[in-house]
């Protein structure tokens, strides 16, 4: 039931200075935090594929890993390229890609390593003794992306921490006026859904590289929604009150 004249001050442009100060202080701090978060994403993930800027490959490398790329393979195509003939190197690379099994090691790899590599590895101090299976297997390990440990840790920090941010932001934004009802409701709910999508997609990407797209969609989705809430709230608190109009609207009543 409508109760006229009672809560018509309940909207951002009509609120008193003290509550606007509180909201603004929070939004400024969060805004600053979001900028540093963006910079952090660019620095840690943005460079994962060796190129500047965030791309799908960065997300794939971060979560799924760069599975074709073991240290052994990189060296055999790099500084160890002249140490063994082409076909021997190809054999070693296949062995690494196939998971570096002990059977194949005993059957064919060990003797090639002894023949071509042990002249240095095993005699020059400081070089890994790759005639030893465990040492060689270590160099043959591919980059498996994010570990389950790291994902669990980062997931729960993100879910709890960011949910708080979206809650308070959405709370402030809920006092905005003049936003179409559906748009306002969606803007408040969507960041949470995008956040959940984002976190689930990290896990999915760890096993299926194709899910990296959902990480991108989730991140862009909640960035857009929260930027919209941020700017709208600031504008309604610091521009609208000074344009000479009265806003006699209960922003929570729809």
Give me the residues that bind ligand HEC (CB under 6 A), please.
71-72, 75-76, 79-80, 83-84, 92, 116-117, 119-121, 127-128, 130, 139
Whose Cβ is closer to ligand HEC: residue 117's or residue 197's?
Answer: 117
CB 148 within 8 A of CB 174: no
Cα 179–Cα 182–Cα 185 angle in degrees, nearest 5: 85
HEC string for 26-73: HHHHHHHHHHHHHHHHHHHCCCCCCCCCCCHHHHHHHHHCCCCCEHHH
Could you tell me which of 65, 47, 63 has the C-alpha nearest to residue 212?
A: 63
Q: How far is the CB of 225 from ligand HEC (least distance, A)?
A: 46
Q: How far is the CB of 106 from ligand HEC (least distance, A)?
A: 16
Q: How far is the CB of 105 from ligand HEC (least distance, A)?
A: 12
Residues 6 or more apart whose Cβ sits within 8 Å of residue 192: 163, 166
Q: How far is the CB of 110 from ligand HEC (least distance, A)?
A: 12
Distance CA 165, CA 139 (A): 43
Q: How far is the CB of 87 from ligand HEC (least distance, A)?
A: 12
End-to-end CA distance of the chain: 11
Residues 6 or more apart whose Cβ sits within 8 Å of residue 142: 65, 66, 67, 68, 69, 70, 96, 97
Which single residue is written with the structure tokens 């160099």?
139
Whose Cβ is closer to ligand HEC: residue 70's or residue 176's?
Answer: 70
Whose Cβ is closer to ligand HEC: residue 67's or residue 71's?
Answer: 71
Q: How far is the CB of 124 from ligand HEC (least distance, A)?
A: 7
What size, in residues, is the chain? 254
Q: How far is the CB of 83 from ligand HEC (least distance, A)?
A: 4
Cβ atoms within 10 Å of 218's Cβ, excluding its own: 21
Whose Cβ is closer to ligand HEC: residue 45's or residue 83's?
Answer: 83
Whose Cβ is closer to ligand HEC: residue 57's or residue 143's?
Answer: 143
Whose Cβ is closer to ligand HEC: residue 116's or residue 228's?
Answer: 116
Whose Cβ is closer to ligand HEC: residue 117's or residue 234's?
Answer: 117
């Amino acid at each position: 039931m409508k109760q006229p004249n009672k809560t018509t001050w309940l909207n951002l442009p009509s609120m008193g200075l003290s509550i606007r100060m509180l909201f603004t202080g929070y939004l400024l701090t969060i805004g600053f935090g979001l900028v540093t978060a963006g910079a952090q994403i660019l620095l840690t993930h943005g460079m994962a594929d060796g190129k500047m800027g965030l791309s799908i490959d960065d997300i794939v490398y971060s979560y799924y890993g760069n599975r074709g790329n073991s240290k052994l393979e990189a060296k055999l195509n790099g500084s160890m390229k002249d140490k063994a003939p082409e076909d021997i190197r190809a054999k070693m690379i296949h062995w690494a890609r196939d998971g570096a099994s002990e059977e194949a090691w005993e059957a064919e790899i060990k003797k090639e390593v002894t023949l071509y590599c042990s002249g240095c590895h095993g005699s020059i101090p400081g070089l890994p003794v790759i005639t030893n299976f465990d040492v060689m297997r270590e160099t043959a390990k591919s980059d498996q992306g994010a570990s389950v440990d790291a994902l669990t840790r980062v997931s729960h920090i993100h879910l709890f921490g960011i949910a708080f941010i979206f809650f308070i932001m959405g709370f402030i934004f809920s006092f905005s006026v003049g936003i179409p009802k559906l748009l306002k409701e969606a803007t408040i709910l969507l960041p949470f859904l995008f956040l959940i999508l984002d976190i689930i997609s990290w896990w999915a990407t760890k096993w299926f590289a194709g899910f990296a797209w959902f990480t991108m969609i989730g991140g862009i989705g909640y960035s857009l929604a929260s930027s919209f809430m941020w700017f709208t709230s600031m504008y309604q608190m610091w521009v609208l009150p000074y344009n000479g109009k009265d806003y006699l609207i209960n922003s929570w009543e729809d």
